[in-house]
Amino acid sequence: MAQVMVNFRMDENVKKCMEQACREMGLSMTTAFTIFATKVGREKRIPFEITAEPYGPQSRRGRPREEEALEEGPSPLMEKRERLEALCAEIRQSLTAVHTAVPSSITGLSMERIRLLCGDELKDKAAGITGSARTLFSARNAEILETKDLSVLDEYLDGLADIAEDLRDLRSALIPAMKSWTGGDAGAFAPYEQRLAAVSRKFDGLPSVMQRFWASSAQIPGSARTVQARIRRAAAPVETPYVLTALEGLESLIARHYDALDGPTKARVEAHYLQTLELTLEELGRAEQGGEDPAGKAALCLRAVGVVSQVLSGGGRARREQTQRNLEAEVTALERLAALRGDVPGGAGPEA
């Protein structure tokens, strides 16, 4: 690829600050600017927000606390916001690429329908999703989002990701097909039209999911039922019998011990051990569905189950030991009291 020289002026202090930042990241300024230029060229946008408001401590004065909470991260909401924005951008790019690639030389009902779908119908639906995203993560909704069930929002994002994947596959197949078309029956493009129509129907299913999200309430964290529900959701696609049996045993342990664990232990289980178990179950389900040998993934699941079980059993033992120590202390105290009162042989007896 040919190289070109780009020269421009900038403030000396700005240059020094950028050079220092690039050194800390292990980059050169040339590499940093190349990354920036590549991202702008690919996404057709500046890859960060540009406003007239200066950034810094002074700029945050008087700003809503919830707006700052959304910007300070990482947080689950920020991660979902970034994923939503990335999916919307990818969908727009795919639709634009297909629409602009349609040659005027190809006619017929299927090709006209493809033009309309990419240039109008799907484009409008994607724009509606983008507008909903801005409203969803606006500053005024920050506190409301904290009260909602984020698993429903994940379902919405998964649906949008499915659409993005369909359009990506269509883009990679349809554009080469149009470029290589040499004439003849344009009805060969009918399958692409049908696939785009199916994508349109998937778009139509998203508003109901968003409505369920707005109507939802966040699950109470730290409860045995919540943890059991997470495990069941993660294990839904799994079919390996001995893994399912191990999960049944784990759920039994959770029912007996989880609610009595202290707060830090619960937080550790949910943030680390349980998340690892969910990931291993997801990998196992994917291996089973893909026809791979699930033995290795199943072994990882059993190890994750074993770790969570040890934490729960350890918490139960610690609680029993604490209860035993408390009971022994109470018995000792009662014996001393009885001896002082003369209720037991050899006691000191009451004073005359």
Query: 45 lies in which domain range?
Result: 12-49
Higher pLDDT, 58 or 104: 104
In a domain? residue 59 = no
Using CA atoms, how far apart are residues 201 and 102, in angstroms rounded to an integer? 22
Q: Are residues 240 and 191 in the same domain?
A: no
For residue 8, the model assigns a pLDDT of: 75
Task: Find out whether 169 and 94 touch, Cβ atoms under 8 Å.
Answer: no
Q: Are residues 203 and 332 in the same domain?
A: no
Q: How confident is the model at residue 67 (pLDDT cuts 50, 70, 90)?
A: very low
For residue 2, the model assigns a pLDDT of: 64
In a domain? residue 156 = yes
For the ranges 157-166, 172-181, 274-283, the maximum mean pLDDT occurs at 157-166
Q: Are residues 123 and 179 in the same domain?
A: yes
Q: Are residues 144 and 248 in the same domain?
A: no
Higher pLDDT, 148 or 192: 192
Q: Are residues 306 and 274 in the same domain?
A: yes
Percent of the chain with pLDDT over 90: 20
Model confidence at 177: pLDDT above 80? yes
Domain termination residue (choose one: 187, 215, 243): 215
Question: Rounded to whole angstroms, what are the CA distances from 37 to 18, 30, 104?
Answer: 16, 10, 32
Residues in the chain: 352
In a domain? residue 331 = yes
Domain termination residue (choose one: 190, 215, 240): 215
Q: Are residues 203 and 324 in the same domain?
A: no
Buried b (16+ CB within 10 A) or exposed e, 32-60: eeeeeeeeeeeeeeeeeeeeeeeeeeeee
Q: Are residues 281 and 324 in the same domain?
A: yes
In a domain? residue 45 = yes
**Averaged pLDDT of the chain:** 78
Q: What is the pLDDT of residues 282-338, one digit of tens each?
A: 989 989 988 888 898 898 889 888 888 888 877 544 444 444 555 555 556 656 656
The count of domains in the chain is 3
In a domain? residue 151 = yes
C-alpha torsion angle, residues 36, 164, 148, 276 (rounded to 10): -80
Q: What is the pLDDT of residues 263-292, one digit of tens each?
A: 777 777 787 788 888 888 998 998 998 888
The total of other beta-carbon atoms located within 10 Å of residue 298's CB is 22
CA angle 274, 277, 279 (to 5 degrees): 115
- DSSP letters spanning 217-250: -PPPTT-HHHHHHHHHHHHTT---HHHHHHHHHH
Q: Are residues 240 and 314 in the same domain?
A: yes
Model confidence at 183: pLDDT above 50? yes
